[in-house]
Amino acid sequence: MESITGIVDIYLFYSDSNGYSVFKLEDGTSCVGNLPKLNEGDRVELSGNWVEHPRYGKQFKIENANISYPVTESGIIKYLGSGMIHGIGPVTAQRIVSKFGEATLDIFDNNIERLIEVEGIGKKKLDAIIEGWQEQKSARSVMLFLQSNGISATYSLKIYKEYGDAAPDLIQKNPYRLISDIWGIGFKIADGIGKSLGFTGDDPFRLKAGIIHTLQQAVKDGHTFLPKDLLIKEASYILQADVGYSDTLFEDLEENGEIHTHNSNVYISGFYRAEREIESSINALLSVTPQKPPKLDKVLNSFEENYSNEQLEAIRTSYAEKMLIITGGPGTGKTTTLKGIIELFQTFDKKIMLAAPTGRAAKRMTEVIGLEAKTIHRLLEYNPKENAFVINEDNPLETDLLIVDEISMIDTLLMHNLIIAISSNTTLILVGDIDQLPSVGAGNVLKDLIASKQIPVIELNTIFRQAKDSDIIINAHRINKGEMPALSFIGETDFVFLDESNNKNIPQKILRLCSDELPRKFDFNPVEDIQILSPIYKGDVGVTTLNKLFQNELNESATVYSQGDKIFKANDKVMQLRNNYDKNVFNGDIGFVVGTNNESKIMYVSFEGKMVNYKFEELDEITLAYAVTVHKSQGSEFPCIIMPLTTSHYMMLQRNLLYTAITRATKLLILIGTKRALAMGVNNNKVRNRFTSLFKV
């Protein structure tokens, strides 16, 4: 490697996502490499090699960089006037250097209060300059340390914001703490940092982090625990080291409160506690005997003409028990049943609340029931500053009846926060479809609650006359029974199958449907009314490919953000990828890009009319949503669903996935692919079991 020195003159390009930089030195040398954002006027010592770019010519490719202060007056003026310090612009920088000359930066380091001698700098401005100088010095050294250890610019910034000046010391002691402290940094990245810092493959910090990582991966797959033997096997494979040789690793993690072991099953501690507290809260609620109001039987008798026997049983049970589960497929009258229950409670002047796991599900519940429904987070009044719910076991909900829809979507942790906030005065009714996909988060709450036989369950099976007019509903029930849907129709239908065996033709066929045929025939908005669902992310008909195609072809708006492969245009349809309580947006929420403020480095996204601001470094939280996976569509309904079905999806073709996708459509469903792939999905009822212990311990 060679070394060169010089003064940064002008930036030609800088990427916030990975720190990739292209800049020129004062002598005209072009430099490229990944490093923190420098300031014009920085004096740099660069190590690297000369390369020849086919378009831009000779460049110095940077491997390592050291930054020192500029030494000339012109360099100091450019450095201070670059905007890096609040309160100093080019004019003030000129005045400071005119006063102190080449000793200026020594004054900043050792006697900064003397800046009060400079014209235009008063006490208030001096305080701002002192604060800004200290911040940039600290940030600069920390960012250099982080990026010299292979951490991207985006993650470096997140780490600095989390740890501040202590970052180098904390990371050198234990780089694996980044996994739990910094969202987006997984074991692979932390392990790479650990290796660069000299941590060996059998270092206890690494092995314990690997155990937690394995459990976290299990959580992502829906499990609340792993059998210890399986955990040891999987963790040892990931780490390429034996984690079963000593119980000390597990004892340390248990003493530290990170894991809990019960009956040779190992949990991340929060999940064990959540399952047990769900059980105790439910048992406490079920132990309460509801008070029977006068004239209850007379009121119930008046309901008999308007409801089926199944529905009447649910309505009666709602006043006889403190907790009830109502389950059933599409068209079986769940909404009608809920309206009956609400009418019954209203007859006796009871307070009623409705809730659902997601914003879209809550909005739909509001529309079909006619009363306001809230998301569970809003119902429980989540406080992002405290990272806690205001409504909890010490401050429970004040309502006589709480109905929660789409219970199949609720994972263990959310169910825990909900159930502990239910007082003994409340009747809790959970509504869902047990045949849909389980929650994205860990647990199998609805299935486990029903299997426990602790809670009254009413299953609605009768398909009502108006629902029988929908081929979507008829075929959803056929698929759920393991029968092939009817694909030959006479006349109009809301269930369409388009045969196409060549995967490469499918994206263009979907595009034609969205851009021309469906808007023309049904007056659908191509983006708002039509949702593409795919079982997978990769491949010709995967979510990633379809999103790029539709962004290019359906959105003619200007690009407002571009870094690497991540491109957003105004009016892009996007989805939130994680729960962000600070912003009050949650995993699966769909919004639309409004625009950006490049000066503030903020992008604006509208979610159901609510404006949310994202700093550019936070844009890894959202992704394009013209196409989404079936899992991400849970709890939502769309006028039109289009779903490619090919044998390349065979790993994901399961009956409950197909059933869930079909039941997202309210007016039109289009499957495009092969009958063989459809048959594979219908016949595959091997649902992957989840390790959960709700009511099983």
SS3 of residue 49 by DSSP: strand
Given a cut of 60, is residue 153 above it in pLDDT? no
Provide the pLDDT for residue 467.
60
Provide the pLDDT for residue 436.
86
Contacts of residues 239-248 at CB distance under 8 Å and 24 or more positions apart, as own/partner, are 239/201, 239/206, 239/207, 239/210, 240/201, 241/201, 241/202, 241/206, 241/207, 241/210, 243/207, 243/210, 243/211, 248/204
pLDDT tier, 488 (very low <50, low <70, confident <90, very high otherwise): low
- Measure Cα distances from 220 to 230, 269, 444 in Å: 16, 15, 13
Given a cut of 60, is residue 251 above it in pLDDT? yes
pLDDT tens-digit readout, 259-311:
999 999 999 999 999 999 999 999 999 999 988 888 888 888 888 888 889 99
pLDDT tens-digit readout, 654-680:
888 899 999 999 899 999 999 999 998
Mention every residue, 6+ apart, whose C-beta is less than 8 A from residue 508: none
Residue 60 to residue 40: CA distance in whole angstroms: 18
CB 297: neighbour CB atoms within 10 A? 10
Q: DSSP for 561-624?
A: EEETTEEEETT-EEEE-S-BTTTTB-TT-EEEEEEEETTTTEEEEEETTEEEEEEGGGGGGEEE
| CA 87 centroid distance within chain | 38
Task: Report whether 389 contacts 417 (CB < 8 A).
Answer: yes
| CA 51 centroid distance within chain | 41
| CA 479 centroid distance within chain | 30
Task: Report whether 549 contacts 511 (CB < 8 A).
Answer: yes
pLDDT tier, 332 (very low <50, low <70, confident <90, very high otherwise): confident
pLDDT tens-digit readout, 81-98:
866 677 788 899 999 999
**Strand duo 638-645 + 530-534: pairing:** parallel
Given a cut of 60, is residue 459 above it in pLDDT? yes
Report residue 324: phi and psi, to 5°.
-150, 140
Task: Report whether 428 contacts 404 (CB < 8 A).
Answer: yes
pLDDT tens-digit readout, 238-249:
999 999 877 899
SS3 of residue 460 by DSSP: strand
Adjacency order of strands within the sheet including 352-356: 373-375, 352-356, 401-404, 427-432, 323-328, 457-460
pTM of the entire structure?
0.75
pLDDT tier, 152 (very low <50, low <70, confident <90, very high otherwise): low
